[in-house]
Structure 1
Amino acid sequence: MGTKTKLEILVLLLLTSGRDPGIVPRNSHPPEPEDIGESSNLSDWPGGQHGSAGLPLTKDVLVNGVLVKVKYCHTCMLYRPPRCSHCSICNNCIERFDHHCPWVGQCIGKRNYRFFLMFVSSATVLCIYVFTFCWVNIGKTMDTHECTFGRAILKSPISAILMLYTFVAVWFVGGLTSFHLYLISTNQVRFLSSRCSNS
């Protein structure tokens, strides 16, 4: 583990931030009311009112034999597919939207979730690796110079700084990795889940 691992993590970061997360293309105009079909729920509008195009807030669609309620997005002028949400930061509807990650500057969705998970997992492993070997280096410095822990830190300040940095960083990336592994193991990740819920 070394330069190659750091390069792999950088590549995963670039893939996560540079890849399309699953943006659903916008419509240039709203769908025609007659295109909606009879399964629309006209009563879902507040006060029974319709929008300027007379479109209902939700409509029912059949997905793999299951009736699913899909929502209309006023910004993108379309009915969002199941498990799709509108990101207020990117201002796009994202398929299987998980969250908008400020650290990578990108939404995490259908097309980049696996790269995001590999990125945070690799960063966690790298933090543990660097912390461990800096600790070993401090221990060897103590043995070589027969000094206390404080003096060993003074003799090897870079190791101490890296230990402090990776100790703090591992709580963030490690916590994120653990949380997403928990979501996957309990089948709560939207693109792995078989449920057709719409957020």
Structure 2
Amino acid sequence: MKWEKLKPPEPDDPMCCCECDTYKYRCCCDCEDLDEAFSRYERWDETSPVFGTMIDSLEISMIPALLLLPLLLRAAALHYLLGAVILTALPGLVLSYYHTTHRRKRRTLFFLTLALYSLAYMYYLFVTEILPRGDVSPLQTCAVTTGMILTVASLVHTKRGPGFVTASLHEANRRRRVADDDPTHPDGSIQSTASGETGPQSATEKWTLCPVCKIMRPPRAGHCRTCGSCVQRLDHHCVWINSCVGQANHRSFLQTLCVFVLTSVYGIGLVLRSLCPRQSLMTALFYCPGVYSQPSTALCFTCCWYSTIITAGLFYLLVAQVVSISFNVTGREAQLALRNKKGQRRLWGIAIDTGEYSRGFYRNWVEFLTMTDSSASLHSSPTDLV
């Protein structure tokens, strides 16, 4: 049996032979023994207190774990070998916790709190350790501060919501299509419409029934098993914002990534130039003589590496997002295409081209930059007030 058959499919996918009583877990199998084993695992997972207590204790101990971050960074600043071990172990621990929570399909504030706490702590060290050295001008300090404020503001805007699918969305869309197809105005006058614009485009929209929510949803919408709701143009569930990325907040999510990466790279450059003024930036990141002579400089150098690791991961996510938008493919659609073997890998595997919605680079970006939340637009339309 191939591994693809053992992977839990998306709630949208048809089940091949079995479906659990609850939507907490889904399996896809072709034998009764595997189905029975999966049922035994589900009963053990719900009744075993050990595994659940371990995850809950990790969530409860979120604040002490975050308080350990400054201590670990200061310990990493004692020696470069100790720093290499700690900075290598930290991403491993975070990824382990991510896989644990992702497997259980549960929401967690740990990653969002860790991101905000790391951002605040790096800025605190920049103000208390780098600014007193006198190597950073007021204009550069203002640029870093502005980047911090814009990052937090973009994150708050992203957290407003991804654009959830409501039960009234399909009915509002149906009434809008009826109003678009009706050539008469409310006052009785005849409205002249160009053939082939709104009517045919709306007619080709294929709304599907979500097997979990039991509501009709628009094209490209998907059900998030972590949030428990359907999202318009679902891209993925991001643990770093503890929310889905969908039609309503995809642009602000991309903006948050751009502002953060630019601010982080600029801040790292300022710190390295202050610590190692005679070295180039790339050389100073790997070799900065005398940086471990003082605890303050060693801590700032260690935090540069910590910020570099985080920035590198988010930069890869930013590149993947830009490439996917250029092909007009969401993360959910890319996963389904790979699972069904209908997509083609592009640009060394970074993008998955399905060819279903792509209309060219320029039109894809125009569609992304001009898309609006359907629920908001429909609720504000005159047809929804009738």
Aligned equivalent of 1:182: 323
**1:10-89 equivalence runs, <5 A:** 10-17=152-159, 19-26=160-167, 64=201, 67-89=204-226
Q: Tell me how many residue pairs correspond in the alignment.
A: 155
Aligned equivalent of 1:100: 237
User: Structure 2: which 5+ residue stretches go unaligned?
Assistant: 1-142, 172-198, 280-286, 332-354, 359-386
What is the rounded CA distance, in whole Å, between the counterparts of 1:81 and 1:96 in structure 2? 8
Q: Deviations over 1:57-113 (max 9, x none)?
A: xxxxx8606645432113322222111111111111111111110110000001101
Shift of 1:154: 3.0
Aligned equivalent of 2:290: 151
SS at match of 2:277: helix
8 Å contact from structure 1 (residues 23, 94) kept in 2:
yes
What is the rounded CA distance, in whole Å, between the counterparts of 1:136 and 1:130 in structure 2? 10
- The equivalent position to 2:311 in structure 1, one of 170, 186, 191, is 170
Aligned equivalent of 1:9: 151
What is the rounded CA distance, in whole Å, between the counterparts of 1:63 and 1:72 in structure 2? 22
Shift of 1:140: 2.7
Shift of 1:165: 1.3
When the two structures are superposed, what TM-score results if normalisation uses the length of structure 2? 0.37
What is the rounded CA distance, in whole Å, between the counterparts of 2:209 and 2:161 in structure 1? 22
Shift of 1:150: 3.4
What is the rounded CA distance, in whole Å, between the counterparts of 2:293 and 2:207 in structure 1? 62
SS at match of 2:231: strand
Cα separation, partners in 2 of 1:6 and 1:69, compared to 1, 3 Å = same
Equivalent AA in structure 2 for residue 195 of structure 1: Y
Which segment drifts farther, 124-133 or 92-101?
124-133
What is the rounded CA distance, in whole Å, between the counterparts of 2:202 and 2:226 in structure 1? 34
8 Å contact from structure 1 (residues 80, 93) kept in 2:
yes
The alignment yields a C-alpha RMSD, in angstroms, of 2.8
Equivalent AA in structure 2 for residue 183 of structure 1: S
Q: Deviations over 1:18-61 (max 9, x none)?
A: x121101137xxx9xxxxxxxxxxxxxxxxxxxxxxxxxxxxxx
Equivalent AA in structure 1 for residue 231 of structure 2: I
8 Å contact from structure 2 (residues 167, 216) kept in 1:
no
Q: Deviations over 1:135-175 (max 9, x none)?
A: 21122388xxxxx9331343312430231112101111100
Aligned equivalent of 1:118: 255
Cα separation, partners in 2 of 1:159 and 1:141, compared to 1, 3 Å = farther
Which segment drifts farther, 73-82 or 110-119?
73-82
Equivalent AA in structure 2 for residue 84 of structure 1: A
Q: Which has the higher strand share?
A: 1
Equivalent AA in structure 2 for residue 118 of structure 1: Q
SS at match of 1:75: coil
SS at match of 1:9: helix
Give the % identical residues.
Answer: 23
Higher RCO, Cα 8 Å, sep 6+: 1
Shift of 1:128: 0.9
8 Å contact from structure 1 (residues 86, 93) kept in 2:
yes
